Amino acid sequence: MTQEPQAAKARVLIIDDEPDIRELLVMTLQRMGLQAVEAGTLEDSRRHLGEQTFDLCLTDMKLPDGDGIELVRYLQAQFPRLPVVMITAHGNMETAIEALKAGAFDFLNKPLDLQHLRDLIRSAVRLGKEPVLPGQSEAPPLLGTSPAMEEVRALINKVARSQAPVYISGESGTGKELAARQIHALSARAEQPFVAVNCGAIPRELMESELFGHVKGSFTGAYSDKPGLFRAADGGTLFLDEVAELPLDMQVKLLRVLQEKSIRPVGAAKEQRVDVRLLSATHRDLAAWVDAGRFRQDLFYRLNVIGVHLPPLRERPQDVLVLSRHILNRLASDMDMRIPELTESAADALSAHSFPGNVRELENILERALTLSDGGAIEPEDLQLLPAVQGQSTVMGAAGSDRARQSSVGSDDDLLAAARELGLEACLEDVERVLIRQALRDNDGNRTATARELGISFRALRYRLKKLDLDDE
């Protein structure tokens, strides 16, 4: 059998007191071109660890002089970059989750599935041999100099070296998908697919098919086989955003996928094994939803093996200007403009703002300010923070976009009510959409005259038309 050259020099420590299990593991490793070292006890394993370096450790849970969890904790303290895979009794998910929480790379159930074993070994050895260094990630960075963000980045670097499910919590707009992309980019799966899906955006009747796929003819409209999102992410990472929106029947099926590491497409006779790392997120208090009976406790326990919490922007005000400069640089590049400066008063206004919409709100504020400014400097009035926008409510009430008309926005109270229902940034976009549409009508569709009337450049108007889906107007 052909050996795998990329892992030819890797050395794996096998710790198990059953000779037949060690023999099976040694044979598998040797066929993969890996060097195997055997140990039957924790004492033997510590001796080998003191004498040689290893790229992976495979350990049984039950050992004559202790348990595998104890070894995982020891390795985390003494050899933090050494991946360790726990071998557990089939169906003992509590032990598996305890191992993952202690820092294990992943776990294997007995009886061992050899294909799964080989896939897991490849991933773990690749992680040990080719660590991703800071700056190598292609995902956009999580910016900020606050202690809170330093802690988040350190935790992401740590959890990236595991296969454990990660639950990312935080308010809307804090960057949960960005954190998920960072975890993927720093992991052994970085070269494999990253698939993100918003669970709240999938119609309930299509959810099972979207996630697990279907076979041709399984239901009306199933004209061909569909692989589904789990298959699309096979070998890589699947990010389930707004996981709280999963209906209870889908929660049961997702729990089974996590336990069995296999899926059954709609209409299929057999299950299909998938190798997917699952990351999930929601802006809701998922623990409260568990208490209310809206989310399964066993699934929450399984998803929340490792938790990463993203703090709201109001709790890290020192990051506002760092983020602002980065966002302005990117926006100016996208709009082919020179980078504007924030005046001192504008910077003070941003620093004092509470940002209920977090980083996403900051991006929208700066994007709007860039189109309203003269391109040289951004003043406080260009930011149009909430008090200034309230004064626009009569415009929304008079002309109104579709969403604004549905909300009957006509006064300050109406605008605030709409902001609570639709979100602040959606209402602000409505204001911009109304103003641009009216200016276009007043100028018979002449975009140069429209830009002049609005006090922005033609290039900025063109960008806003595209941004607000007004290109055809």
pTM as predicted? 0.73
Amino acid at residue number 93: M
DSSP state of 379: -
Could you tell me how many residues make up the chain? 473
111-123 residue pLDDT tens: 888 888 888 888 8
Low-confidence ranges of the chain (pLDDT < 50): 1-8, 131-137, 387-410
> Which architecture does CATH list for 5-129?
3-Layer(aba) Sandwich (3.40)
Q: What integer pLDDT is reported at residue 298 of this predicted model?
A: 93
What CATH number should be reported for the domain whose range is 147-311? 3.40.50.300
Q: At what angle do helices 458-467 and 424-442 cross, to 10 degrees?
A: 130
Q: What is the fold, at CATH topology level, of the domain defined by 313-384?
A: Helicase, Ruva Protein; domain 3 (1.10.8)
Q: Where are the domains of the chain?
A: 5-129, 147-311, 313-384, 387-473
52 in Cβ contact with 60 (< 8 Å): no
Q: What integer pLDDT is reported at residue 411 of this predicted model?
A: 52
Rg of the chain in Å (alpha carbons): 27
State both tokens at 14.
Answer: 């096998």
**What distances in angstroms separate CA 292 from CA 243, 248, 285, 288, 296, one per listed residue?**
16, 13, 11, 6, 10
3-class DSSP state of 222: coil
Q: What integer pLDDT is reported at residue 129 of this predicted model?
A: 60
20-57 residue pLDDT tens: 999 999 999 999 999 999 999 999 999 999 999 999 99
Same fold, 5-129 and 147-311: yes
Q: What integer pLDDT is reported at residue 337 of this predicted model?
A: 79
Q: What integer pLDDT is reported at residue 204 of this predicted model?
A: 85
User: 80: Cβ–Cβ under 8 A, 6 or more apart, which residues?
Assistant: 103
- Give the angle 295-301-305 at the CA atoms, nearest 5°: 135
Q: What integer pLDDT is reported at residue 409 of this predicted model?
A: 36
Picking from 429, 305, 297, 442, the residue whose alpha carbon sits closest to that of residue 357 is 429
